[in-house]
Structure 1
Amino acid sequence: MQTTATSPAVVEEVRSLLDELSDCWNRADGAGYARLFTSDAAYVQFNGVMLDGREEIADMHDLMFRTMLYGTRLLCEEIESVRVIDEHTAVVVSTGAALFPWQHEVTAKRLSRQTLILVREGGRWMIASFQNSRVKPFPTSGPLFAVASKAVRLRVDRALRSRQAR
């Protein structure tokens, strides 16, 4: 884990917050999950849908816990970094996954990375912003990369020639 001038106590507070997040998820408690966010929090789901505020976060999670995420459990795997901006603000990057009951470990297809902006309110960290993205490494070598790179270059060159011809 990378930390920037972050005390072990702050890292422990962040771990505790992520554990609370998991506990609420694992109980399918959308309202409890949302209470860990500020009232005006911005929440970007892995599919790019944005939720605005604690109420939308609670409503969406209640719906999802009854439907598409029914029976899942949230694993907050690793805190990758904690960067304290000032005494009231921190940026956290973590990895984790929502697993269905038949899944016993986090696979590459299920792994997500989250960026959280935390603010200190009432003596505790609250989540003011949450961005969740699936981890899908982009290849940077090999035959598939070479073919894809060539295809992109051909399309870009064609588009640029077309613009110049106008």
Structure 2
Amino acid sequence: MVKSLLEKIAMDRRSFVAIASMGALISSSASAAASTDDARAVSALLTEYQASWNAGDAARMFRLATDDIHWVNIVGMHWQGKAQAELAHRAYLETMFRGVPLTLEEVESIMPLGADALIVVARWNIGAFTPPDGQAVPPSKDRMSLVLHRTSAGLRIAHGANVQINQAVQQFDPAKGTPPA
């Protein structure tokens, strides 16, 4: 399912780019309504994700996922399928993330890809924790990219990837006009 969804996303993205380059074909009011609906649905999903994390409830969290979800965690582990992703999250939520708060700071972008998917980038605040290597990690900000699939039950996470933001190097972002030294 993920492979066919990603193939469709690639096709829909090419169509989206072609349409966008020809000019707006949808009225701004219809476009704004769709964006508002998407924003509300994304907000509801992320609110539930945050609540399930803070409750330490991996089963609740992965009710938000497709059965064939792919998840890449903050240190590059790649979990495939709901059972594997839920198992890994459960293990960490019951140990190093037990009681560690997660708070949504901002939804940075929502990009629709056809009728079936959205790409979302969200920024989170996460409390301090100690991973299995024993090296304490102070509170930080993370950036999460999600591919969300529209289903009859609402949005579901088809792919997630989480990256810890390195604050010390943000000042050297070439895309923001501050090239590296």
Fold similarity call, TM over 0.5:
yes
Match of 1:113 in 2: 143
2:108 pairs with one of 80, 85, 104 = 80
1:66 has 2:94 as partner: yes
Higher strand share: 1
Aligned to 2:61: 33
Letter in 2 for 1:49: M
Output the amino acid matched with 1:31: A
Where does residue 20 of structure 1 map in the other structure?
48
Q: What does the per-residue CA deviation read over 1:115-145, in whole Å, with 9 as the maximum and x for residues that have no partner?
A: 100101124100000010111235539xxx5
Count, aligned residues: 134
**Alignment identity in percent?**
26
1:76 touches 1:94 (CA, 8 Å); kept in 2? yes
1:89-133 C-alpha deviation (Å, 9 max, x unpaired) = 1100110032259xxxxxx96111011001011241000000101
Task: Find the structure with the greater CA-based Rg.
Answer: 1
Provide the TM-score with structure 2 as the length reference: 0.67
Query: Is 2:171 the counterpart of 1:135?
Result: no
Query: Which residue of structure 2 aligns with residue 151 of structure 1?
Result: none
- Quote how far apart the aligned CAs of 1:24 are: 0.6
Write the distance in 1 (CA, Å) between the matches of 2:88 and 2:143.
Answer: 20
How does the TM-score come out when normalised to structure 1?
0.73
| Equivalent position amino acid for 1:17 in 2 | L
**Preserved CA contact (<8 Å) 1:71 1:100:** no
Task: Name the CA shift for 1:62/1:109 in 2 (closer, same or farther; >3 Å).
Answer: closer
